[in-house]
Amino acid sequence: MLAKGIRLLIDARAEGRAVPAFTTYTLESTRAICEAAQNTGLPAIISAGASSFRGVGRAPLAAAALAAAAQASVAIGVHLDHSTNPGEIAACIALGYSSVMIDGSQLPFEDNIAVTSAVVAHAHPHGVWVEGELGGVGGDENASSDAVAGERTDPAMAAEFVARTGVDALAVAVGTVHGFTTTPVHVDLARLREIRAAVDAPLVLHGASGLADAELAAAVTAGVTKVNVNAELRRAYLGALRAGLADDGDDVPRLQRQAVAAVTHVAEAKLTALATTPHSDTPSAKETRR
């Protein structure tokens, strides 16, 4: 079923877990995400984001994600990730997305507040929750590289940003980068705890690829409620295709099934890891009313 509203994240935080947002580029990955959620009985988010549209187009990928979520037996959100274009955001809201991200992190602080506030004002009447971003998460969303972490989120600025924009969730920069790197990265747990103490909106961790389950658990304990997962699924998908092609096969349905199975396995492991973190929190009165 398509999960509407921020309750998906509020409930996760109250229950001591985080919701993974899995990036999809293909129908195979979309199916695998839904199968993993159904197999584990845990909610998930399909992230059919701005960069994912470049290969197959917005309308086909969005339609597949929304249809798959609607037919699933568990709650699954459909999310627009890392969009910098309010027009694109409005189009995805019109298509039926349950959440959107406006990424103004590269803008000056006041400009980020302005564009995020405008998106919130448009999204909320449609029942769509909004994720904003403050700070710098380095790297490429679609390919691994030797990226370095950007400027980390300031807790006081985060509190002001959430208060002035009314944003529902906040992506924070706490030392991670998009994609795998040759030099290991780690979560700045102390900074994360400071942000959590200053902000009552659910916090989002981008750049979690390659982090050990124990570090992810520590991040959830420190306040993360949504974790973006991309590179690990990409590697599973491409690895399955390479292995199948190496067998001199041109049976496309067989290759597709192998890709679905590989991505499902990785997604199930991530869902389970994020649902078994030892974390206790009580939602604020503001959150309870949402």
Count Cα atoms within 13 angstroms, Cβ side, for 280: 0
**Using only C-alpha atoms, what is the Rg of the chain?**
18
- One DSSP character per residue, the chain reads -B--STHHHHHHHHTT--EEEEE-SSHHHHHHHHHHHHHHT--EEEE--TTTHHHH-HHHHHHHHHHHHHH-SS-EEEEEEEE--HHHHHHHHHHT-SEEEE--TTS-HHHHHHHHHHHHHHHGGGT-EEEEEES--BS-SSS-------PPPPHHHHHHHHHHH--SEEEE-SS-BSS--SS-----HHHHHHHHHH--SPEEE---TT--HHHHHHHHHHTEEEEEE-HHHHHHHHHHHHHHHHTT---HHHHHHHHHHHHHHHHHHHHHHHHS--------HHHHH-
* C-alpha dihedral, 94 to 100 to 101 to 107, nearest 10°: 30
Q: Residue 223 to residues 41, 160, 288: CA-CA distances in angstroms?
A: 23, 18, 17
Annotation says 81 is catalytic: yes
Catalytic residue from among 11, 81, 188, 200: 81
Question: Which are the catalytic amino acids?
Answer: 81
